[in-house]
Amino acid sequence: MTHARKLGAAACACLLTLSLGACGGGSDTGSGASDPDSGQGSQEQAQQAEPAEDAPYQVTIDSAQVVKTYDGGDAVCITFTFTNNSDEAEAFGTATRVTVYQDGVEQEIAMPAESPANYGNSMSKVKTGSSITVDGVYELANTTSPVEVEVTELFNLDGTVLAEKTFDLS
């Protein structure tokens, strides 16, 4: 009898895993055209995503600045403003997922040589209706190609984009 229950539980776990895997396909909604000659040093090119008014969080991608990593490499410091509209206190780092691309490749989180002003704020909880400024640092493949930044809810299966912006680093 217990063997049958274990087998049934394993089958349910497999079905759940397969059904969640099928949901993660995602689709490319297009990023719009960018004009690489339109700005100098860390200028924004486009803000494509407008979050729904009833979204639990609002995020703006405010600026980007090239910085150095602890080992002398190049990185980009992205500044965000996070507003919590949910019913409970939430932190930017536990409510959202930031993805940074350069030349179509996701860039890793970097350790800066000097901590930006709002570097430690990503795990600070924010009460409903309040906002906080957060800095995130990401490795760069080079300092000439544009950087695309995308912020989504951490636990949202529909892939709703909260904010999206492209920066021209040259």
SS3 of residue 47 by DSSP:
strand
Which residues have CB under 8 Å from 73's CB, separation 6+?
110, 139, 140
Query: 49: pLDDT confidence band, cut at 50, 70 and 90?
Result: low
Question: If you compute the radius of gyration of the chain from its CA atoms, what whole number of angstroms results?
Answer: 19
Side-chain half-sphere CA neighbours of 135 within 13 A: 18
Distance CA 142, CA 147 (A): 10
pLDDT at 69 over 60: yes
Query: 51: pLDDT confidence band, cut at 50, 70 and 90?
Result: low
| Mean local confidence (pLDDT), 13-35 | 41
What was the pLDDT predicted at 48? Answer: 46
pLDDT digits (tens, 9 = 90+) for 128-162: 999 999 999 999 999 999 999 999 999 888 878 99
Q: How many residues does the chain have?
A: 170
Structure tokens at 83: 């507003």
Pick the most confident of 27-31, 53-57, 129-133: 129-133
pLDDT at 21 over 90: no
pTM over 0.85: no
What was the pLDDT predicted at 150? Answer: 96
What was the pLDDT predicted at 4? Answer: 56
